[in-house]
Amino acid sequence: MRRNLLYARRLFGDIGPLNTDPVRNLPGRIIAPAVSIDGVYQDYEEASDTQHYTIGSRMQVDSRVFYYSKAGGTLSTAVGAFSHNNQHVAFAAIDAISEGDYTIVVTVGAGDGVLTNGNIAEDELVGGYLVIFNAGQAINRRITANTAVTGGGDMTVTMDRPAPTDVADTEHAEMMASPYLNIQTGAHTMHPLMGMAPVVATLLLPYFWLQTWGPVWISADPSVGTGSDNTLAQFRSSGGVDEWTYDSVFTRQMQMAGFVLCQANGGGQGAPFIQLMLAP
């Protein structure tokens, strides 16, 4: 019976540890993938100077979800945090690959990389994504490894799934790193909001769990959640939230954060508690 339960847990990937809640006798934590890089468990209330999980690992805690991230500066816990990286590799030439191949050689440009100098470290793109353009069709894959490259040149990238067909060397590819690799707070008008930091991660303590789903307080404009039919919460470029107004130059094109969970007695704003709805 115990063996069958273990197999069921691992049917769709490496998931754990369960950390059973002694009150409810139900799972209190689910982490995927479960295997810590160094065998050390890091909770969502901790920031660490050592990376314990693969960037982009997912932790579910009750109705809340967190993704393992790396801070690119000192974070605020009051506002939304941004993914600060641009796309690592633009439209790039590739070597031909055959159906069933798990690796592909991509020619990195001299202006590619996070510093636009053609430098990409070994495994810097792990947890990121690759698209291969093949005769007008798109092949999308997650990146599980990459070799280092300096000043541009050939880089071997390992994909999570094999190529579904042959691809000629006349085709091209583009790549991005994990969106959780360089998380920052502040005013960022050209970057997506990824979640809320539950702890003050810093450059010295950069590894942390970023909340992406579930109830959380976010610094809000006084209009959020007040009055009738007003529950939508939308991020602004500061990382705070505002009410959604279709004709507002500030919010009509901004990213949705979620919705207000409850108002104060009498219909006022309350905290407000927001049901964050970014990555489930």
| Domain range list for the chain | 36-85+179-280, 89-176
Mean of pLDDT values over 79-96? 96
Secondary structure (DSSP) of 212-240: EEEEEE--B-TTTT-STT--EEEE-TTS-
Closest CA to 186 of 233, 239, 236: 239
Q: Which residues pair with 265 in a beta bridge?
A: none
pLDDT over 90 at 205, yes or no: yes
pLDDT over 60 at 261, yes or no: yes
The span from the first CA to the last CA of the chain, in angstroms, equals 30
Full-model pTM: 0.85
Helix, strand or coil, per DSSP, at residue 145: strand
Mean of pLDDT values over 63-75? 96
Report residue 32 as tokens: 């995927």
Q: What CA–CA distances, in Å, run from 43 to 9, 53, 88? A: 21, 11, 30
Q: What torsion do the CA atoms of 114, 119, 124, 127 make, to the nearest 10 degrees? A: 60
pLDDT tier, 184 (very low <50, low <70, confident <90, very high otherwise): very high
Contact between 268 and 206 (Cβ < 8 Å)? no
pLDDT over 80 at 10, yes or no: no
pLDDT at residue 155, as a whole number: 98
Average pLDDT of the residues of the chain = 87
Mean of pLDDT values over 127-155? 96
In degrees rounded to 5, what are phi and psi of residue 7?
-65, -40
pLDDT over 60 at 23, yes or no: no
Contact between 126 and 143 (Cβ < 8 Å)? yes
pLDDT at residue 227, as a whole number: 73
Contact between 66 and 216 (Cβ < 8 Å)? no
pLDDT over 80 at 188, yes or no: no
pLDDT at residue 1, as a whole number: 46
Strands 241-243 and 273-277: unpaired
In degrees rounded to 5, what are phi and psi of residue 153?
125, -170
What's the rounded Cα separation, in Å, for the pair 22 and 255? Answer: 38
pLDDT tier, 31 (very low <50, low <70, confident <90, very high otherwise): confident
Contact between 259 and 273 (Cβ < 8 Å)? no
Domain 89-176 classification at class level: mainly beta
pLDDT over 80 at 127, yes or no: yes
pLDDT at residue 5, as a whole number: 43
pLDDT over 70 at 251, yes or no: no
Top mean pLDDT of 17-21, 103-107, 238-242 is at 103-107
Contact between 175 and 120 (Cβ < 8 Å)? no
Report residue 8 as tokens: 């069921």
What's the rounded Cα separation, in Å, for the pair 260 and 199? Answer: 22
pLDDT tier, 2 (very low <50, low <70, confident <90, very high otherwise): very low
In degrees, to the nearest 5, what angle opens at C-alpha 128 toward C-alphas 126 and 131?
125
Range name among 171-175, 182-186, 233-237 with the lowest pLDDT average: 233-237
pLDDT at residue 267, as a whole number: 74
**Residue 89: burial class (beta carbons within 10 Å; 0-12, 13-18, 19+):** buried
- For tokens 């407000």, name the residue: 272
